[in-house]
Every structure is written in C-alpha cells, then in structure tokens.
Structure 1
Amino acid sequence: MVGGVRLPPRRRILLVGTLFALAVVAALLRDGPLRLGHTGVFGFALVVAVWLLPARWSVLLGLVTLALQVFLGPVDWGHVGGLVPGIVIPVAVTLLIRLVVQLGQAHEEIAALAAAAERDRLARDLHDVLGHSLTTITVKSGLARRVLESGGDPERALAELRDVERLSRQAHGEVRLTVSGRRRPSLAAELAGARAALRAAGIGAVLPPSADHVRAELAGPFAYVLREGVTNVIRHSGATRCEVLLGDDWLEVRDDGPGRNAAEPGNGLSGLAERLRAVGGRIEAGPLPAGGFRLRASRT
C-alpha cells in the first residue's frame, strides 16, 4: 500500500477493482448466504481502497458495500460493526496525513515567497540607495580632480573631497539600515541631496523650497522617485537644467537634456512603479514635446 500511492490513478483503480473482484469471487465460493464481509480478501480490499483512492470515493465505496451486504443477504451485525472502524480509521488517518503534508507544503511555499519578497526588497532598496550615492560621489570626485588639474582653488577641491568622505560614510550607514529593513527615506533630505548633486554636476537646479505640504503616506515613495530621477538626470540626460515640481499628491522631475534618461523601463523605474502601486499611485516617464525628459509620480 505504501508503494501504491506512487502509482498512476488508472493503475490504482485497476488494483482496487481487482482486489474487490477477488473478494466477490471468494464470497461466491463459500457455502451459504452471500456475505461479502466474511472474506478476508474483501476487508483487505477495503483498506487498500481507503489508502489509494480519494477520501470521498473511499467513504462512498464503504457505504455502498454495507448497503449491498444488507440487500444481498442476512446481516451479521457483529461483523458489519467490525467493518465500520476498518473503514473509518484508515480514512481518518489518511486525511490527517494529507493535512500534515499539505500544511508542510504550504509552510515551505510561504517561506519561499517571503524569501523572494525580501530579496526583491533588498535589491530594490540597494539599487535606489547606492545608485544615487555612487553617482554623487563620482561627480564630486571628478569635480575635485578637475579643480586640482586646472590649478583652481584648493579649498574648493578639499570641500568636495570632504563631501565625498561624508557621502561615503552616509552611504555605508544607509546600506546597513537597508539590509536591516530600518531605513526610512526623507523627502526633505532628498531635496537637499539633489540640490548638492546637481550643483556638483554643473546642472542648474530649480527645486521647491520645502516638502511639508506633501501627504505623509506619499513622502517616502516620492523621496525614492526624486532620488532616482535626479540620478538619471546626472548620469544619462546631458542636461544643463533640472526642475523639480512638487504638489500634494504628485511629483515631477524635468530636464532639458538631449539624452533619453531611463526612457525604457529598467530596475530603477520598475522598483519605483512597485513603490507607487503600494500607495495607489503610478509612474509616468517619457520625453517632453519641446525636448528633454519628464519623470512623474502621482496618485489620482
């Protein structure tokens, strides 16, 4: 019976049918009234049916068997009473085993889904954190190098290098918070960081003075949108001007560059779309009619 559960359904049915046929033949060969329950083969066939067939089929088969016993001959109630636990107990044990197996499978699936969700969160957050931080560090390092190579003000170069050191430490702290799931983005801090990054890249910045009017549940997702949008402007657009517009429930990052920054959905825009969907918002990205590029996040 243990090996029988691995058989295909048709072979299981054939095996059970064969055992019942042998049980009926054995009962017919006995002298006296036809009593199916008096053959040991029949009792074994019932137990095998319980193990190999679906529970509903097993219960139905047992009830049909008892009904045939009553209909075809005198009832030996003592033996019939012995058949009932022989059917009920295997069915109950089988259902319990199936339940335990299904619970184990469900637990494994939940654990796998949770692990996949955590990996997706970590990959998305690290992309958002490190992408902007490394871009800003690269821009500021390049600016300091150009100042020194051109014989410019050493103090300015030192100031940029101090910023690089500060940003490196800040990025390290953000990565630690991201891995532990304790990082909370700040839209006001991202505005300040965007201003500094655009200035270092030589891109004119038009930014809102504050973000106090933004809805609280949108401030976090908008912070990620602003960070990704400004990073793409610096890395891909070739723009000379970047403008950030901010409303209660929408944010736009515009530039005047000839490049198509993140025009095709990538990891950055895909991650932003997931964050916005979680708060009922959406992401739009594409070139502007008069030139340049626009990234818009909104909730309508």
Structure 2
Amino acid sequence: MSSLTPTGAWTSRDGRPGRLGVLFAAVWLVFLADAFRAAWDLAWQGTDPLRGWVGLLATLSFASVYVASFTWVRRRRQRMQLGVEPAAAVAVLGTLLALTVVMCVCVGEAGASGLVYVAVLGVLCLPARWAAVLTGVLALVTEVLGHTLAGWSSPAGLTFAICTAAFAMWGVSQLMARNVELIRAEEANARLAVADERNRFARDLHDILGHSLTVITVKAELANRLLDVDPERARAELLDLERLSRDALADVRRAVEGYRDLTLPGELARAREALRAAEIDADLPNSTDEVPSELRELFAWTVREGVTNVIRHSGATRCTVRLGASAVEVSDDGAGPRDDGVRAGTGLEGLRERATAAGAVLVTRTLDPRGFALSVSAR
C-alpha cells in the first residue's frame, strides 16, 4: 500500500512510527540533568549520601520507566491501537508520580522536573479531557509547591514547561492518530476494491457462462432427442456443442484476463442460434449500423441477458429483439415474470449496474395479454 509519508528511520513507509522514533522521547531526558546532578552531588560530596543514592536511583528509574512507557505507547500505535486501557494508564502515571515525589524528597526542587514528563505521558495515555485535567492539576501543584516550600524559587518556568510540553505532545498525538486513521481508511478502501472486483468478476462469469451453458444444455437435450429420429441433425448439434464449449472456454479466459468487451453482431448471431436450438421463433435485426459505438457493448450485454432469460424462464414460443440508435428491447410471448423473482436475479442486477454506469436506464414490464419485455434506453 503506498503512502505520501516519507520513509526513513523515524517514520516507516506506511506512516507508522519508525525504529528510531523512541529517540524523540529519550532526547528530552536532558531536562532531568539537574535532578541527576543534584543526586550525584549528594551521593558523593554531600552530608547525606543515602538521600543522594536514593535520589540517583529514583532519577534513573524515572528515566527508564518514561522511555519504556513512551516506546510501549508508540508500539501500540504501530499495531493501529489508539488509546490505552485505563488500568495500564493509571499504573504508568502512578509509577512516574511516585518516583517524582521520591526525587523531590531527595533532591528538592530539581526533582519536580519529572512533572513535565508525567504531563506528556498523560496526553499519550489518557483521553483528551482527562489529559487536560491532569495537566491543569500538575500546573496547580507546581504553583502551590513553589510558593509554599522554603528554598523553592518561582515556579512560573516549570508551570510553563508543563503546559507547553503537554500541548505540544497533544499536537503530536493528534498527528499520530490522523496517520492511523488514514492508514485504516486506505486499508478499508483496498478491501472494498477487492470486494468490488470480486463481485464484478462473479457478475461477469454469471453473464458469460450462464448464457453459454444454457445453450449447451438446450443443444444437448435436442441432440439426445434426435439421436433415434434424425442422426444427421443430432451429429450437427453435437458439433455445435463442441464449438459452443470452446467458445465458452474462450469467454472465461477473456473474463479472467480482464477483457469484458463484447460485439453486438456476435451476440445477435449467438441469440439466433440459441433460440433456434430452443425451438423458439426468433425475430432479430439483421443490422446494427445505427447503434452508436458507445452503446454497442451495453446493448450486447442486454441481448445476451434478455435472450438467456427467455430461454431459461419464459416458456415462450417467440422472441423479438428491437434495436435502435438509443434503445434495445428483448421481448417474448411467454408466461411473464415468476412470483419467486427469478427474472430479477443476479443477471438483471448486473445489467442494471452496467446501464447506470453508461448513463442508461433498464426497464422491465409485463406485456398484454402475456409476455415479458426487457429494454435499455440511453438517457
């Protein structure tokens, strides 16, 4: 599946996150440097090395949990999974908040920088409304701590960092979500295209083989009846059977290869032969010159479907095909449409689709006193 998204280590060919996308999270850990340095100084040079080592361990653990959580969320996006289960989101954010508290207790104000990362992961793990609430609460807590705890400086810079980081990640998250939706839409379109092509092929196969097999069946029945009374004619019908079967095979091959074009004169010739084999009087036109080129294929399909239905379902003794510059009609003097809707089956539905695509209209009607007519007219 193609995509307009550029490829590379950051973004894959289909628009999903690439291998090095995790560096997008890891590179921002530089803002934990103050907390790490403060813990390092306490551990090696301060008067309370225990607090320093605990703070150092808490800072390293915080960085590891953050990068692992960010990577986990991105891998979920790779699997086209938007959102995170509430229990998992609470566990991740709760762990980071607990480590942030430990960092603040051990190294003071420098440990509060962890709140920025909590806000960022909150945007990735929570619905937008709850992420906004979490960001607001973190900003409020930062302001309260900055103004109440001794030795803490103005919290405005940290509060601003929490809000801007959350907003920036919200934009990135929206972009990732749109990419996922675009990929899903492309995959859905591909599935629909395959289904549409499968339906088209099934319709064409019905139109092609339905007609040919009907004629072959009628000729086989006729040959069987003539074996004892007219062997020469029976032999001729069997020769026709062989030719018709070869034609049917060629039609199927053409359908498989994607060639759907028919010739109107060829279909009229086949209709004449098929009606004769079914012992139905045929009143067919001898010329197709007045039919414009753009309607010839549609009219050929109409003749094929109409004559096939006459032979299969009508019980008629006469079939008439009328051909004009903008319309074709196939009529018979049979029993008309059956109550079980046989005449409105797959073949007519396929013909209706072709007519609509060509800007024409398909009409079926019952004739008085008996009979049935199928017509296709250009608008």
TM interval, shorter chain, is 0.7 to 0.9
Distance 1:131 1:88, change over 3 A: same
Please, what TM-score do these two structures have when normalized by structure 1?
Answer: 0.78
Deviation by residue 1:116-165 (Cα, 9 ceiling, x = unmatched): 01111011000000010001111122222222122x151x2222211111
Instruction: Give yes or no for the alignment of 1:46 onto 2:119.
Output: yes
Give the conservation status (yes or no) of the 8 Å contact 2:207–2:347: yes
Give the conservation status (yes or no) of the 8 Å contact 1:139–1:200: yes
Q: Residue type of the partner of 1:48?
A: L
Please, what TM-score do these two structures have when normalized by structure 2?
Answer: 0.63
Instruction: Give yes or no for the alignment of 1:225 onto 2:302.
Output: yes
Query: Mapping of 1:70-85 within 5 angstroms?
Result: 79=158, 82-83=161-162
Q: Residue type of the partner of 1:7?
A: E
Q: Residue type of the partner of 1:162?
A: L
Distance 1:63 1:219, change over 3 A: farther
Distance 1:258 1:82, change over 3 A: closer
Distance 1:203 1:102, change over 3 A: same
1:216, CA displacement in angstroms?
Answer: 2.2
Instruction: Give yes or no for the alignment of 1:175 onto 2:252.
Output: yes
Query: Mapping of 1:80-91 within 5 angstroms?
Result: 82-83=161-162, 86-87=165-166, 90-91=169-170
1:166, CA displacement in angstroms?
Answer: 0.9
Q: What secondary structure is seen at the aligned counterpart in 2 of 1:5?
A: coil
- Which structure has the larger Rg? 2
| Aligned equivalents of 2:234, 2:129: Cα separation in 1 | 80
Query: Mapping of 1:199-214 within 5 angstroms?
Result: 199-214=276-291
| Aligned equivalents of 1:78, 1:259: Cα separation in 2 | 85
| Aligned equivalents of 1:56, 1:217: Cα separation in 2 | 58
Residue 131 of structure 1 is matched in structure 2 by 210
Give the conservation status (yes or no) of the 8 Å contact 1:137–1:167: yes
Q: What secondary structure is seen at the aligned counterpart in 1 of 2:83?
A: helix
Indicate which of 237, 245, 253 corresponds to 2:322. Answer: 245
| Aligned equivalents of 1:44, 1:51: Cα separation in 2 | 11
135-144 or 75-84: which moved more? 75-84
Deviation by residue 1:90-114 (Cα, 9 ceiling, x = unmatched): 3354234323322321221011101
| Aligned equivalents of 1:135, 1:219: Cα separation in 2 | 23
Q: Residue type of the partner of 1:116?
A: A
Give the conservation status (yes or no) of the 8 Å contact 2:313–2:343: no
Give the conservation status (yes or no) of the 8 Å contact 1:12–1:53: no
Q: Using CA pairs under 8 Å that are at least 6 residues apart, name the structure with larger relative contact order, 1 or 2.
A: 1
Give the conservation status (yes or no) of the 8 Å contact 1:55–1:95: no
Q: What secondary structure is seen at the aligned counterpart in 1 of 2:368?
A: coil
Instruction: Give yes or no for the alignment of 1:270 onto 2:270.
Output: no
Give the conservation status (yes or no) of the 8 Å contact 2:264–2:297: yes
Q: Residue type of the partner of 1:289?
A: D
Distance 1:66 1:232, change over 3 A: same
| Aligned equivalents of 1:75, 1:247: Cα separation in 2 | 90
Structure 1: which 5+ runs fail to align? none
Deviation by residue 1:22-67 (Cα, 9 ceiling, x = unmatched): 89xx8xx99xxxx9x9834642442133213566996899799889
